[in-house]
Structure 1
Amino acid sequence: MVGLTEANLRALAGARSFERGLGYLDAVSGVEVGDAWVTATVHGTERYEVELALNGPGGVAGECDCPYGLEGNFCKHLVALGLTVLARRESLPRQRKAARDRAQDLDAWLSDLSREELLALVRDQIAEDRQLRRRLELRVASARGDLAGVRTRVRELLDIGPFAQYGYVEYADARAYSDQAGQAVSAIRALTGSGRAADAMILAREAMRLLAEAVESVDDSDGWLGHVAAALVEAHHAACRSARPDPEELARWLVGHVLGDMDDLTGIDPLDYADVLGDRGMTVLRNLAVEAWRGNRTGWAEKYLMERLAKAGGDVEAVIAVHAADLAPDGRTHLVIARELDAAGRPDQGLRWAERGIRDVRDPAAVDTALVDHLCDRYAQADRLADAVALRRDHFDALRTLLTYRQLRAAARAADCWPAEREGALALLRADAGRRLESGRGDSVLVDALLDDKDVDAAWRAATETGAHERQWLTLADQTRADRPSDALGVYLRLAESLTQQTGDAVYGRLVSLLLSIGECHHRLGTSDEFTAYITALRTAQRRKRNLMRLMDEHGL
């Protein structure tokens, strides 16, 4: 049991998964100990099969068929099993010896059986285990070179029929279907291993099509079929490496696949096949990609393929051409181009594309914020502070939000011109606040901006003159009650009155917080008797709200 310690489990899993694993100790069942492994079932969101390898070449390792474990992570279920094993460490040596003895006894017994007895044993297992029968049938078909037989079995394995109700595989059955589909991948790999790589390549392509059709009718919320698809792609690639198909034919198939509907499932990257395609195949691939893109410059798949090939070839001009052919109206594509040029060591051109992005946007309020940020950063780096301020001013003028106000303030302070810019920005916000007052809206960016500037007196005046949201009034009261307790008290009382008409624990929590602030104001004003009378009247009026009464009691109200 070298290497299996609590510290090592924590190191393998990480602190978060280790802590979560502590909560699954009671969910471990069916622990089975082998000579170098321990298996169990852990009941989490689903029923997961877990295996710990003890004393392996790299120390302790584990596998779990939960989604997180299938990604190669040492999950919380493995932690739970590891801790369960550690809790039984005293009996583990005896159990491992017993497992070795059983394995030796079984091997000796099998060795003593005659050929007829072994055949009878296998036939019995085949009759009882349908999955074993299917796997062996596939091996037979592969060994005999029966491509038609293997194809038939692969189609059966990918058929959702046995798992579907009303033509759809529900979440509860998706795992079982994916396990069966995985057997098709194993069969294709076996074909390659038996020297029939060309057949494996053909079957892998057909299996991708069948799986893509099947996934439309499966609730694959946990992504099991995604793992099967990834394994299928690996099997196809391995078959291609062995079969060495015609590079031009492979290039055509790859482009057709990427531009078709199946790619959403398999996610094949044609560049992964460069070792099989060679120079001739890659040339054909590029030509086909260019042809497809020219035929549909706005197609997502066409753009993705062209961009991948262009980047792989270091062709910045081609990358730019792909994006420039379909510029987004908000300028975000201009930003992509600008960043590509920056990365290629061409910052001046990148700057021009970013500036063009700002000019090309018809509606200033719709411009991509990341483009504005990028361009302002570039201006700051070039010591073009006035340009950064102008851009921030235009952005603020278009949106009139607290964020754009803050950004304008930061740029203007860097350029040492904030007082003048602030006056203009506040004039715009005052005009907005006046219109909001006329329309009956109480929220005001003006109040938030003044509060953010720490100009509480101006914020109070603005709230009084043009209105404010309850959140803003509360902030104002909190920030002024030490110096202006009478004004703050009026705000707290008004907000509290509104809450007394509502119910719910969250409301009660807010109300009690207000009551404590009201009490502080009365204390500062020297009117504690008035607060006592207020609380007494409130308790009488609200006595039926038991949770509120309890909460007030807890706070001494």
Structure 2
Amino acid sequence: MGGLKEAKLRALAGERSFERGLAYVDAVSGVDVGDGWIRASVRGTERYEVELRLGGRGKPTGTCDCPYGQEGNFCKHLVALGLTVIGQEADLSQRRTSARDRARGLDAWLTSLSREDLVALVREEMAEDRQLRRRLELRAASARGDLAEVRSRIRELLDIGPFAQYGYVEYADARAYAEQAGQAVTVIRSLTTSGRAADAMALTREAIGFLAAVVENVDDSDGCLGQIGGDLADAHHDACRAAGPDLVELAHWLVTHALDDAADLTDIDPLDYEGLLGEQGMAALRRYAVEAWRANRTGWAEKHLMRRLAKSGRDIDTVIAVHAADLAPNGHTHLLIARELDTAGRTAEALEWAERGIRETEGLAAVDTALIDHLADRYTLTGRPADAVTLRRDHFAACRTLFAYQRLRAAAVAAACWPTERESALAHLRADAERADASGGRVLVDILLDDGDVDAAWRTAGEYGAHDGQWLFLADQSRPTRPADALAVYLRLVARLTHETGNHAYEQLVSLLLGIRDCHRRLGTPDGFTAYVTDLRATQKRKRNLMRLMDDHGL
């Protein structure tokens, strides 16, 4: 047990958990020392069971059933127990020896008891411990082969009634319920290992259904019921493997379960049973999946199962059929089909589906831009640059944005026809702006700036208007060549900010003042800036953070 130090605990837990663990040392109780381990209870939000393992040359490890500890972390409760161990290190060797002596004494005493005395002892303990009685009743029913009794007991274990107030299990009681429900998994697994796998398989399915029916009424913030659902899924798979079930019936259950709400609880994947189902079972699985999909072609679960089965069997046509049964109006589903066909090497069909997506969409303004990109790329790769430009031009005409313009520019440059396309695109935007469409003028300003045509952007902003961000960008870009124009922009923006408070506004204001100072320097009017700043300081002097920030920048 020796060798445990505070520094080692700090390294294992991290600074935050270690510091929080210091406050829990007094909450440690019931320290139990064994051979290489120490267990205790720690009172936190609730009482947690904690175990430290110190044997061997490796670093100490530990487990705690608090939410943070269950994620595999060395939590504050483990730190508290570790600090307690360090504080009691002198007594540990003696306590370990005493624990071994007690264990040997208990074993010797139990061995010495007669059969009648052991039975009396167990009955006495069952009378005091309800959980022990339930566990032994389940074992007895299982040993007798009493399936009805085992089923009844499992339903009791999964019943939320004893833990629920007003039909709902609160967070504080959820862990206790999960611990009880977990016993059902143990019972089912014992049936499989005792040669009754068929019964285990049937009971697992019933348990899954029962748990799925109550899970919405439990505050499972810690994910305990999700873990039990996963354990039930594993128990079902193990039982099926041991039982050698009817493959067609198993396939039917797997499809039914995959389409049921309980699928979210267990995350059972029908394809995980492929090795067990074999050719006959997989054929039945596909048949049942197709029937379910035909009955509900737009159902997400049905489509997802069909796509997975089709891909696992490399059945690309079925994948396409599933997608095609529910085409999205914006062309996104057409794109998915095109990509599947491209992956399968069926490029001509892929191109046809992509073009069909453009034709059948509600309008290019609403089309999935990924479909536009996909089709334009295919045109370019197949030596059809003019078609790529046409597609990009039509998209820009329907959706006049900077993004659509940039894509048109790239396609037209590649096709060596950009000057003509650019003039046509700009003409569309000018027409929008002249119709008193403010957004058209602002988009035109962004596009001219993106093209690097700052002078044209200035003229457009002056003629059709621009938002403050555009004016600021224009001023910053044009300060070396148009300092007077830039100065006018900065002064207007500063005037607005002087009515605002807060560090963010102050940082913006100081940045503008630096621009104003540079404009006055370029104009040869530094005294004008000095007078401006002096006046500004006088009117804004109550804003201490602003004054400090201006001092920091020499303003």
TM-score (norm 2): 0.84
Report the Cα offset of residue 388 of structure 1: 2.0
Which residue number in structure 2 is paired with residue 536 of structure 1? 534
Shift in CA distance, 391/41, structure 1 to aligned 2, threshold 3 Å: farther
Say if 2:236 is the partner of 1:236: yes
The answer to which of 35-44 and 474-483 deviates more is 35-44
- CA–CA separation in structure 2 for the residues paired with 1:176 and 1:347: 58
Shift in CA distance, 90/266, structure 1 to aligned 2, threshold 3 Å: closer
Q: String of CA shifts for 1:101-154, please: whole Å, max 9, x gaps.
A: 455334312222133787787677656665455444433433333333332332
Please tell me whether the aligned partners of residues 50 and 78 of structure 2 are also in contact (alpha carbons under 8 angstroms): no
Aligned partner of residue 195 in structure 1, secondary structure: coil
- CA–CA separation in structure 2 for the residues paired with 1:40 and 1:427: 79
Report the Cα offset of residue 468 of structure 1: 1.0
Which residue number in structure 1 is paired with residue 500 of structure 2? 502
Which residue number in structure 2 is paired with residue 347 of structure 1? 347
| Counterpart selection for 1:26 from 19, 35, 38 | 19
Aligned partner of residue 499 in structure 2, secondary structure: coil
Which residue number in structure 1 is paired with residue 472 of structure 2? 474
1:348-387 to 2 correspondences below 5 Å: 348-387=348-387
1:128-527 to 2 correspondences below 5 Å: 130-435=130-435, 438=436, 444-527=442-525
Shift in CA distance, 355/460, structure 1 to aligned 2, threshold 3 Å: same
The answer to which of 247-256 and 176-185 deviates more is 176-185
Which residue number in structure 1 is paired with residue 108 of structure 2? 112
Shift in CA distance, 48/110, structure 1 to aligned 2, threshold 3 Å: closer
- CA–CA separation in structure 1 for the residues paired with 2:39 and 2:390: 66
Report the Cα offset of residue 91 of structure 1: 9.7
Aligned partner of residue 168 in structure 1, secondary structure: coil
- CA–CA separation in structure 2 for the residues paired with 1:329 and 1:209: 37
RMSD: 4.0
Shift in CA distance, 295/165, structure 1 to aligned 2, threshold 3 Å: same
Structure 2 spans left out of the alignment, 5+ residues:
none
Report the Cα offset of residue 364 of structure 1: 0.9
Please tell me whether the aligned partners of residues 53 and 60 of structure 2 are also in contact (alpha carbons under 8 angstroms): yes
The answer to which of 439-448 and 183-192 deviates more is 439-448
The aligned amino acid for 2:519 is C
The aligned amino acid for 2:315 is D
Structure 1 spans left out of the alignment, 5+ residues:
11-17
The aligned amino acid for 1:475 is F
Shift in CA distance, 57/288, structure 1 to aligned 2, threshold 3 Å: farther
- CA–CA separation in structure 1 for the residues paired with 2:45 and 2:252: 43
Q: String of CA shifts for 1:481-503, please: whole Å, max 9, x gaps.
A: 23322211211111111122223
- CA–CA separation in structure 1 for the residues paired with 2:274 and 2:428: 59
Please tell me whether the aligned partners of residues 473 and 491 of structure 1 are also in contact (alpha carbons under 8 angstroms): yes
- CA–CA separation in structure 2 for the residues paired with 1:240 and 1:311: 25
Please tell me whether the aligned partners of residues 142 and 194 of structure 1 are also in contact (alpha carbons under 8 angstroms): no
- CA–CA separation in structure 2 for the residues paired with 1:426 and 1:39: 76
The aligned amino acid for 1:178 is A
The aligned amino acid for 1:527 is T
Which structure has the bigger radius of gyration?
2
Please tell me whether the aligned partners of residues 27 and 42 of structure 1 are also in contact (alpha carbons under 8 angstroms): no
The answer to which of 417-426 and 35-44 deviates more is 35-44
The answer to which of 163-172 and 444-453 deviates more is 163-172
- CA–CA separation in structure 1 for the residues paired with 2:88 and 2:378: 64
TM-score (norm 1): 0.83
Aligned partner of residue 365 in structure 1, secondary structure: coil
Aligned partner of residue 297 in structure 1, secondary structure: coil
Report the Cα offset of residue 94 of structure 1: 8.2
- CA–CA separation in structure 2 for the residues paired with 1:250 and 1:89: 53
The aligned amino acid for 2:465 is G
- CA–CA separation in structure 2 for the residues paired with 1:53 and 1:292: 52
Q: String of CA shifts for 1:184-233, please: whole Å, max 9, x gaps.
A: 22222222222222222122111111221112223334433222212211
The aligned amino acid for 1:417 is C
Please tell me whether the aligned partners of residues 200 and 236 of structure 1 are also in contact (alpha carbons under 8 angstroms): yes
Aligned partner of residue 24 in structure 1, secondary structure: helix
- CA–CA separation in structure 2 for the residues paired with 1:431 and 1:102: 94
The answer to which of 265-274 and 357-366 deviates more is 265-274
Please tell me whether the aligned partners of residues 429 and 441 of structure 2 are also in contact (alpha carbons under 8 angstroms): no
- CA–CA separation in structure 2 for the residues paired with 1:384 and 1:372: 15
The aligned amino acid for 1:113 is W
The answer to which of 37-46 and 312-321 deviates more is 37-46
